[in-house]
Structure 1
Amino acid sequence: DDLALATACLSIVFTNVLTVIKTSTFLAYKREFKSLMAEFERMYDELHEAGAKRCLVTVNVGAKRFVKLYFYSVSCTGLYFTIKPLVSMIWAKFQIKPLVLELPMPMRFPFDFESTPGYQFAYIYTILITIVVVMHATSVDGLFVSFTTNLRGHFQALQYFIETNTYDKSDALIQRELRIYVHYHVRLLELSQSVQRIFKPIIFGQFLMTSLQVCVIIYQLVTNMGVIMEMVVYCTFLSSI
């Protein structure tokens, strides 16, 4: 009967479903993931031109910073959710008010979680699940950023080879270099198709679950328009997804 609680629970359910999709897809394609990582590493080692390697280093540094920022953002959101009930209870005790046993997430369990020791067990379980969700989600998303960034860097390296080549050589040498460029391009296209194939279920799940999450979070924002702390919580949650 509590629509606000139901929508809050749905936002958590959608997050967990998305994590399951990402994790199960990663496990299903773990060999392909490993093969892609090895292939990108091998292609980096095969590059001997300083300018081409500089392209890869530049894009990878940017990707590393982006993934770190994403990880910190999601981690801070999870940390906020996990410590908020503790801070509320400490503040209530400081003001000599009755303690309200509140879980970090609006979750429900098939046992008495509103009293000791069920509450402590539910709290620890929620924290562990939050850590798992954060680690798995950011890991798979980080792999996607890494793969696409390396593809972009290699395409830029190929462009660098073509633009810096003077072609002031014999026809046989030019044909040999052009064959290398074509082979390099075909190799990159095959890698692009592999990345698209293994990330297709994840991207579909990401858009589907995120769309549903946005719906329930917007509802929470509208219903808690006058409560500043609740708005901060849901705005933070919305920004993290």
Structure 2
Amino acid sequence: MPMVIYSCQHLQEIAEVTNAMAPFMQATITLWKIWRVIYRRKMMAELVEDIYSVSTKATKQELTHLRRENNRERIMNTFYYYSVFNTGVLALIAPVLVSFIQYLRLGEFSYIVVLKATYPIELARPLNYVLIWLWSAIAIYGVIYGSVSVDSLYSWYIHNLVGNFKILQTKFVTAELIAEVSERRASIYYCLGYHQRLITMSEQLNIIYQPIVLVQFSLNALQICFLAYQIGSGDVAVVDLPFLFLFMTSVGIQLMIYCYGGQYLQNESENVAKFISQTINSTIWPIDLRKVLLFSMARAQRPCKLTGIFFDVDLRLFLWVWRTAGSYVTLLRSVDQQSS
């Protein structure tokens, strides 16, 4: 709220508004994520249990797919965490550092705040400045850990579902190699049931994250616009540029986690149809099983998608957000030129 009030008080100064609203939007996104997780906590717990349940039935060789996916997910989330963490460190250190340097040069402490906002207490007092700095630190890292936890959980869901889709692809191949007809039939029916469970779990994941994705991608375009405008305006202090670049990088990584995950799930769910088509023409399959496999292949050709209600979450969405942000930057510059 203090940042919104500050923005309203400086509506004629676009640089000040963009400076205040970029972190405000990230806080809004994070609060929305946390509320949705609390609201869907039972469904999320059930989905974790379902993924664990199907994963425990994999053989030792098949588990290599899950290990590989979880290692990939861990590396991605670690990189994301340190990027966001360092963004918070720069946000907190830069104002104090600039104020201290000015004190050494001019003999006067500037009391530059971390977050542009309208505060209820006087800034130009040491104790008040420390209290505001601590409040800003708590707010920033509350947003950081809230956002990273929800985004990392999304990545965990995606990579474990993808790992299970890869296990399913392997099972379709090994089913063809089974010599005993009854065992082969049982194996293929297990694969069909396995496939249906994965589709159901993907739909559950979509229900959980759909509202989160809608709000996040709608606000991220504006957030990137505000950050890009500050970097390109020339009005920003040099000491603030590393923070702004890292902030934009962190937002970009956040977007990539969702877009890459959605695209990855689509691709691997579609690949199931390719593995079925490789085995369906084999002479070992009786007519009734071929018909069943045809139905399964037709369903697999429709990929499991994550959506934001009005759009699909894939790599095209990632490009759309950056293009939209660029359009907003152009609009802001034209408004700024007219007002000046």
Of 12, 35, 40, which aligns to 2:51?
40
* Runs of 5+ consecutive residues of structure 1 not aligned to the other structure: none
Deviation of residue 89 (structure 1)? 3.0
TM-score, with length taken from structure 1? 0.93
Counterparts of 1:55 and 1:168, CA distance in 2: 22
Residue of structure 2 in register with 1:192 after alignment? 202
Q: Distance in 1 between matches of 2:235 and 2:98?
A: 20
Give the corresponding residue for 1:211. Answer: 221
Describe the shift of the 1:226–1:102 C-alpha distance in structure 2 as closer, same or farther (beyond 3 A): closer
2:178, 2:19 → 1: CA distance?
67
Could you tell me which residue of structure 2 aligns to residue 128 of structure 1? 138
Deviation of 1:139 after TM superposition, in Å, equals 0.3
Choose the corresponding residue for 2:31, options 20, 44, 64: 20
Residue type matched to 2:45 in 1?
K
Distance 1:91 1:227 in 2: 13
Aligned residues of 2:176 and 2:184 also touching (Cα < 8 A): no
Give distance in 2, aligned partners of 1:226 and 1:4. 9
Compute the displacement of 1:41 (Å). 2.1
Q: 1:26 to 1:122 in 2, by over 3 A?
A: same
2:61 to 33, 40, 51: 51
Shift of 1:8: 0.7
Q: Which moved more, 1:127-136 or 1:227-236?
A: 227-236
Q: What does residue range 148-163 of structure 1 map to in structure 2 within 5 Å?
A: 148-163=158-173
Q: CA RMSD in A?
A: 1.7
Secondary structure of the equivalent of 2:123?
A: coil
1:165 aligns to 2:175 (yes or no) = yes
Alpha-carbon separation, structure 2, partners of 1:50 and 1:28? 36
Q: Partners in 2 of 1:174 and 1:165 — Cα distance?
A: 6
- 1:67-124 Cα shifts (integer Å, max 9, x gaps): 0110010000011101112222333344353111011222222332343433222111
Is 1:214–1:238's contact at 8 Å kept on the other side of the alignment? yes
Distance 2:99 2:228 in 1: 27
Q: Which residue of 2 aligns with 1:80?
A: 90
Residue 192 of structure 1 aligns with an amino acid whose one-letter code is S
The equivalent residue for 1:229 is 239
Structure 1 position 6 matched with structure 2 position 13? no
1:225 and 1:231 in contact (8 A); partners too? no
- Alignment pair present for 1:140 and 2:150: yes
1:158 touches 1:184 (CA, 8 Å); kept in 2? Answer: yes
Count of residue pairs the alignment pairs up: 240
Aligned pair in 2 of structure 1 residues 231, 116: CA closer, same or farther (>3 Å)?
A: closer
Q: Which amino acid aligns with 1:176?
A: A
**Between 152-161 and 166-175, the greater mean CA deviation after superposition:** 166-175
Secondary structure in 1 aligned to 2:227? helix
Structure 2 runs not aligned, ≥5 long? 1-11, 252-340
Aligned 8 A contact 2:175 2:184 in 1: no
Q: TM-score, normalised by structure 2?
A: 0.67
CA contact (8 A) 1:224 1:230 kept: no
| Aligned residue among 63, 71, 91 for 2:101 | 91
Partner of residue 191, structure 2:
181
Considering Cα pairs closer than 8 Å and 6+ residues apart, tell me whether 1 or 2 has the greater RCO: 1
Is the 8 Å Cα contact of residues 7 and 220 (structure 1) preserved in structure 2?
yes
For residue 233 of structure 1, what is the amino acid of its counterpart? F
Q: Aligned equivalents of 1:4 and 1:42: distance in 2?
A: 52
Moved over 6 A (4+): none
